[in-house]
């Protein structure tokens, strides 16, 4: 089936609530696996699909099966088996997005290493979809805490990976617990005999779909990725804008709302930017594109739909601020640069759990994508100073300054101040709203890799953070990830607010960028990690802490994961790209 023959999502008989989300997230048209999978799955048929990662498989089974779901019934109706924790989270998050307008919808990811108590609590409250790894699903079946007797559909995702990881027997056992009259879909990148045997045993007259993997070469485009950590994505983007030699830039996000939000934030930081999305009138869209072409606008923040057919030769950079849902979308995105024989640059922001998509993109483009380091504060400061010097020199060469020279002489005489001091004051006045010296961004210290005295460099730790003590430590088998997971998942604390973590023998200390409300603090005191309650309290750092080390560098620390807050607005004016 050629791309010209693909139907639109609105032609696929999906629920109106699902179509609404598809429109919001900016899907242009179904990928081949989606176009061929959605109709039979909507009809309730079994399906055997062969397709690579990055072809849109998650939406291929999620959209039709969520359409068939009955959200008013508070018990598991759909089970999705995945080989890894990362994929389980990815699928669960995607389903939560697609079902945002289904009233009362709940999806639960279950996997090893996660707090069992939390999973039990969610199952008792009632969920319609369970996404999990075979080992943890089996645990729940053996405990009797998960029952599959009313499951109407089962999806086995990446069956060949299940086989490689030794889970295939577990998959068979789980399928045996599901009702005989159920719908089953099995997806696999390859079809070894063991996977085909399972398909024959558990699928009834399945529709078989095979999607040949496409590879695309992207010539004259330099591709790099930044792994999202420490700094907030907006702060990272700001650094890139200041450091790169940029002519025009196209930034891709997933939603229409995000185009407006990000464009406004960039404008507030002094960059000439505008949104481009499907809600804009055709006249306004054309005007925005024309401004990008003639150089009166440097940055356009767009969705995939809005950027369709966009051809602007001066686009030197494409930034994937949000990673695309499939590899074809990525190839289309970065193809907006590198036009007319010019070298283009593509930058991709990748969260740790999105590394699988990164690998799929590398296979699709047949090119490795290199990791990039963000410019340091020293490099940014040096660039700002350089641009400031150029601005001063250009003014000296192009302007009549006799009046101002006489004014400086008067200031020197009236106040007995040297020319150097007066020039410094004028430079300060000119740049005080946009300082030449780059300040620390909250969260940056987490990726510096340097030990410190427990305070983030360049800011007052006591004013910016609140420190808490947890009565669990190395003796209890605690790792930083356990603490982050417990506080963010069960404690409902935004992970971006979680700062430095120090784990000691008998207790742990954690810094939060916002204090916990007393009622919430009381509620999360009894959250358990490895069967031990947190017993969290505000840290007084008193002398009673017997095993508090004399040197902080003996403590175990963790790098932050997306835990920055937005940086201060109004960084110094830069000419590249042009700022408003």
Contact in structure between 469 and 526 (CB atoms under 8 Å): no
Contact in structure between 283 and 241 (CB atoms under 8 Å): no
What does the pLDDT profile of the chain (580 residues) look like in tens digits?
444 566 788 889 899 999 998 887 767 678 889 999 999 999 999 999 998 777 789 999 999 999 999 999 999 999 999 998 888 888 998 899 899 999 999 999 998 877 788 888 888 888 999 999 999 999 899 989 999 999 999 999 999 989 888 898 999 999 999 999 999 999 998 899 999 999 999 999 999 999 876 656 566 788 999 988 766 888 889 888 888 888 899 999 988 888 998 999 898 888 899 999 878 888 898 899 999 989 899 999 998 877 876 878 889 999 999 988 778 788 888 988 887 667 889 999 998 878 888 988 888 888 889 998 887 777 777 777 777 787 888 888 888 888 988 898 888 888 888 888 888 888 888 776 666 766 544 434 333 222 233 333 333 333 457 889 999 988 888 888 788 878 877 777 877 788 888 888 788 899 888 888 887 888 888 888 877 888 998 886 533 333 433 333 333 333 333 333 333 334 443 445 545 4
User: What is the per-residue burial (b if ≥16 Cβ within 10 Å, else e) of 325-346?
Assistant: bbbbbbbbbbbbbbeeeeebbb
Length of the chain: 580
Q: What sign does the CA torsion over 429, 430, 431, 433 have? A: positive
3-class SS at 85?
helix
Q: Is residue 532 a part of any domain in this protein?
A: yes
Return the pLDDT at 398: 87
Rounded CA Rg of the chain: 28
Same domain, 184 and 317: no
In angstroms, the CA 248 to CA 256 distance is: 21
In angstroms, the CA 128 to CA 66 distance is: 10
Tokens (6 digits) for 103: 């009233």
Residue 399's domain comprises 377-431
Q: Is residue 280 a part of any domain in this protein?
A: yes
3-class SS at 62?
helix
In angstroms, the CA 535 to CA 518 distance is: 13
Same domain, 173 and 307: no
Same domain, 418 and 461: no
- Rounding to the nearest 10 degrees, give the CA dihedral for residues 438, 444, 449, 450: 60
Identify any residues that bridge with 315 across adjacent strands, giving them in sequence order: 248
3-class SS at 115?
coil
For the chain, how many structural domains are there in total? 4
Q: Is residue 249 a part of any domain in this protein?
A: yes
3-class SS at 327?
helix
CATH code, 300: 3.40.50.300
In angstroms, the CA 58 to CA 512 distance is: 35
Same domain, 75 and 144: yes
Return the pLDDT at 454: 34
Which whole-number Å values give the CA distances from 513 to 174, 463, 494, in the listed order?
43, 9, 10
In angstroms, the CA 80 to CA 134 distance is: 10
Contact in structure between 334 and 367 (CB atoms under 8 Å): no
pTM metric for this prediction:
0.54
Q: Mark which of 144, 177, 210 sits at the end of a domain.
A: 210
Exposed/middle/buried for residue 490 (C-beta within 10 Å: 0-12, 13-18, 19+): buried
Number of Cβ atoms within 10 Å of the Cβ of 154: 24
Return the pLDDT at 457: 33
- Rounding to the nearest 10 degrees, give the CA dihedral for residues 135, 136, 139, 143: -160
Same domain, 203 and 225: no
Same domain, 7 and 97: yes
Same domain, 199 and 262: no
Number of Cβ atoms within 10 Å of the Cβ of 451: 12
Same domain, 145 and 241: no
Contact in structure between 319 and 196 (CB atoms under 8 Å): no
In angstroms, the CA 539 to CA 521 distance is: 13
Q: Is residue 82 a part of any domain in this protein?
A: yes
Contact in structure between 364 and 327 (CB atoms under 8 Å): yes
Same domain, 162 and 67: yes
In angstroms, the CA 437 to CA 164 distance is: 52
Name the packing angle between helices 355-365 and 85-98 (round to 10°). Answer: 90
| CB within 8 Å of 270: residues ≥ 6 apart | 434, 570, 571, 573, 574, 579, 580
Return the pLDDT at 214: 61
Phi, psi of 95 (to 5 degrees): -65, -40
3-class SS at 210?
strand
Q: Is residue 573 a part of any domain in this protein?
A: no
3-class SS at 190?
coil
DSSP for 215-277 reads ----TTEEEEEEE--SS-HHHHHHHHHHHS--SEEEEE-SSHHHHHHHHHHHHHTT--EEEE-
Of 421, 571, 445, nearest in space to 513 by CA: 445
Q: Is residue 577 a part of any domain in this protein?
A: no
Q: Is residue 215 a part of any domain in this protein?
A: no
Same domain, 22 and 152: yes
Same domain, 128 and 65: yes
Which whole-number Å values give the CA distances from 219 to 35, 334, 341, 402, 415, in the listed order?
29, 11, 10, 54, 63
Same domain, 232 and 337: yes
Of 317, 324, 274, 320, nearest in space to 299 by CA: 274
> Is the backbone peptide bond immediately before 526 cis, with ω within 30 degrees of 0?
no
In angstroms, the CA 490 to CA 483 distance is: 10
In angstroms, the CA 207 to CA 226 distance is: 40
Q: Is residue 533 a part of any domain in this protein?
A: yes
Tokens (6 digits) for 48: 């055997």
Exposed/middle/buried for residue 430 (C-beta within 10 Å: 0-12, 13-18, 19+): middle
In angstroms, the CA 544 to CA 541 distance is: 8
Q: Mark which of 322, 350, 371 sits at the end of a domain.
A: 371
């Amino acid at each position: 089936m050629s791309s010209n023959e693909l139907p639109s999502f609105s032609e696929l008989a999906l629920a109106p609530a699902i179509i609404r989300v598809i429109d919001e997230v900016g899907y242009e048209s179904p990928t081949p696996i989606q176009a061929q999978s959605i109709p039979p799955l909507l009809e309730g048929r079994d399906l055997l699909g062969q397709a690579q990662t990055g072809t849109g498989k998650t939406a291929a089974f999620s959209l039709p099966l969520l359409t068939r779901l009955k959200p008013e019934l508070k018990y598991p109706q759909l089970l999705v088996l995945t080989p890894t924790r990362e994929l389980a989270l990815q699928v669960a998050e995607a389903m939560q997005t697609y079902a945002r307008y289904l009233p009362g919808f709940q999806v639960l990811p279950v996997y090893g290493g996660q707090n069992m108590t939390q999973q039990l609590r969610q199952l008792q409250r009632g969920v319609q979809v369970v996404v999990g790894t075979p080992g943890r699903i089996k645990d729940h079946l053996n405990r009797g805490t998960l029952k599959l007797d009313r499951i109407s559909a089962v999806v086995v995702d990446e069956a060949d990976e299940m086989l490689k990881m030794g889970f295939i027997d577990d998959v068979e056992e789980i399928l045996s617990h599901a009702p005989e009259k159920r719908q089953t879909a099995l997806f696999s990148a390859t079809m070894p005999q063991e996977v085909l045997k399972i398909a024959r045993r558990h699928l009834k007259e399945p529709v078989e779909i095979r999607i040949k993997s496409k590879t695309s070469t992207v010539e004259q485009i330099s591709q790099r990725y930044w792994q999202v950590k420490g700094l907030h994505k907006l702060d990272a983007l700001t650094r890139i804008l200041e450091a790169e030699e940029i002519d025009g830039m196209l930034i891709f996000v997933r939603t229409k709302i995000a185009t407006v939000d990000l464009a406004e934030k960039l404008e507030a930081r002094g960059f000439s930017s505008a949104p481009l999305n499907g809600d804009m009138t055709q006249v306004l869209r054309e005007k925005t594109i024309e401004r990008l072409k003639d150089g009166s606008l440097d940055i356009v923040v767009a969705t995939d739909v809005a950027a369709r057919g966009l051809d602007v030769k001066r686009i030197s950079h494409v930034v994937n601020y949000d990673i695309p849902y499939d590899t074809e979308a990525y190839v289309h995105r970065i193809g907006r640069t590198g036009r007319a024989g010019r070298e283009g640059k593509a930058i991709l922001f990748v969260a740790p759990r999105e590394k699988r998509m990164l690998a799929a993109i590398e296979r699709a483009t047949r090119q490795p994508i290199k990791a990039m380091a963000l410019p340091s504060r020293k490099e940014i400061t040096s660039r700002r100073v350089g641009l400031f010097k150029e601005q001063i020199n250009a003014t000296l060469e192009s302007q009549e300054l006799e009046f101002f020279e006489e004014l400086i002489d008067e200031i020197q005489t009236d106040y007995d101040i040297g020319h150097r001091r007066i020039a410094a004051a004028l430079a300060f006045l000119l740049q005080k709203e946009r300082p030449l010296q780059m300040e620390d961004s909250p969260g940056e210290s987490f990726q510096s890799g340097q030990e410190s005295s427990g305070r983030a460099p360049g800011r007052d730790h006591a004013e910016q953070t609140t420190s808490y003590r947890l009565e669990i430590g190395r003796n209890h088998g605690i790792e930083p990830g356990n603490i982050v997971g417990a506080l963010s998942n069960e404690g409902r604390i935004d992970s971006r607010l979680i700062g430095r973590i120090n784990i000691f023998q008998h207790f742990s200390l954690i810094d939060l960028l916002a204090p916990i409300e007393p009622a919430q603090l009381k509620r999360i005191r009894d959250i358990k990690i490895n069967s031990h309650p947190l017993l969290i309290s505000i840290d007084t750092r008193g002398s009673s802490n017997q095993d508090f080390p004399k040197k902080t560098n003996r403590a175990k620390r963790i790098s932050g994961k997306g835990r920055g807050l937005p940086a201060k607005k109004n960084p110094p004016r830069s000419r590249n790209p042009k700022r408003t």
